[in-house]
C-alpha cells in the first residue's frame, strides 16, 4: 500500500501517542470505569489501521501479531480454567488473595468522598482477562488491516 501525503502522516504522528494512551487507559481500567478489553482494543486497533493507511501496509511483524492473538486467547481461557482449582469455571481466585496479581480488595465506600473509588490493583482475574482480551483484539484487528492492505495491493508491489 502506498503512503499518503505528508499532511496525513504528520497528523497521524501527532495523534498516535494520545490515542494509544487512551486505548491503554480503557483496557487497564476495565474493572473500574466503563470500557474494557474489547473496547480499548478496538481503539488501539483503529489507531493501527490509521497508521497503516497513512504509512502503507507492509508485512509488519505478522508472526508476532499472530502469536500475540493466540496468546491472548490462551491466557483468557487458561485463566478461566484455572478457576477450576477452586471448584468453579471462571472463578475469581485472584481477588483478595495472597497471589500478588491484582489482588487488592475494593475498599468499602464509607471512607471515601468519591463514591466509586478503588485502586487499580484490584479485580483479580477480571483485570488479567481484560488485558488478555485487549491484546488479542489489538493483534487481531491489526492483522486484518495488514492482510487486507497487502491483498488489495498485491499486484502493484508483489506482496
Partner 1 sequence: MINNGFKLAALLLLAGFLTFAVWNLREFGEPGEKADNDVVLYNAEDNTTLTLDRTAMDDFMLDHSQDGSSTDEDVLENGPSANNAVTAVVFDYRGFDTMGEATVLFAAVSGVLVSLRIALPPKEKKGGDA
Residue closer to partner 1 (CB basis): 21 or 154: 154
Contacting partner 1 within 60-79 (CB under 8 A)? 62-63, 66, 69-70, 72-73, 76-77
Is 123 in contact with 97 (CB distance < 8 Å)?
no
Smallest gap from residue 10 Cβ to partner 1 (A): 28
- Left if phi > 0, otherwise alpha if psi is -120 to 50, otherwise beta: which for 35? left
Considering beta carbons, is residue 19 or 143 the nearer one to partner 1?
A: 143
Q: Quick one: how far is CA 2 from the chain centroid?
A: 27
What residues does 122 pair with on adjacent strands? 104
Helix (H, G, I), strand (E, B) or coil at 104: strand
* Closer residue to partner 1 (CB): 51 or 79: 79
CA 24/CA 40 separation, integer angstroms? 6
The reply on whether position 123 binds partner 1 by CB under 8 A is: yes
State the minimum distance, in angstroms, from the CB of residue 8 to partner 1. 25
Q: What share of the chain is helix, strand, coil (3-state, %, to 5)?
A: 65, 0, 35
Contact residues for partner 1, defined by CB under 8 A: 30-34, 36, 38, 58-59, 62-63, 66, 69-70, 72-73, 76-77, 80, 86-93, 95-97, 105-106, 116-118, 122-126, 129-130, 133, 136-137, 140, 143-144, 147-148, 150-151, 154, 159
Amino acid at each position: 500500500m502506498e503512503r499518503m501525503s505528508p499532511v496525513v502522516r504528520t497528523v497521524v504522528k501527532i495523534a498516535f501517542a494520545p490515542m494509544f494512551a487512551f486505548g491503554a487507559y480503557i483496557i487497564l481500567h476495565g474493572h473500574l470505569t466503563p470500557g474494557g478489553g474489547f473496547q480499548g482494543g478496538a481503539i488501539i486497533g483503529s489507531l493501527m489501521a490509521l497508521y497503516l493507511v497513512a504509512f502503507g501496509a507492509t508485512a509488519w511483524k505478522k508472526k508476532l501479531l499472530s502469536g500475540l492473538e493466540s496468546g491472548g486467547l490462551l491466557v483468557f481461557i487458561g485463566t478461566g480454567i484455572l478457576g477450576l482449582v477452586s471448584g468453579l469455571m471462571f472463578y475469581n481466585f485472584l481477588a483478595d488473595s495472597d497471589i500478588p496479581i491484582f489482588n487488592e480488595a475494593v475498599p468499602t465506600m464509607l471512607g471515601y468522598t468519591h463514591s466509586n473509588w478503588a485502586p487499580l490493583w484490584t479485580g483479580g482475574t477480571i483485570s488479567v482477562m481484560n488485558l488478555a482480551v485487549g491484546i488479542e483484539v489489538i493483534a487481531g484487528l491489526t492483522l486484518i488491516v495488514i492482510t487486507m492492505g497487502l491483498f488489495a495491493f498485491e499486484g502493484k508491489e508483489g506482496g
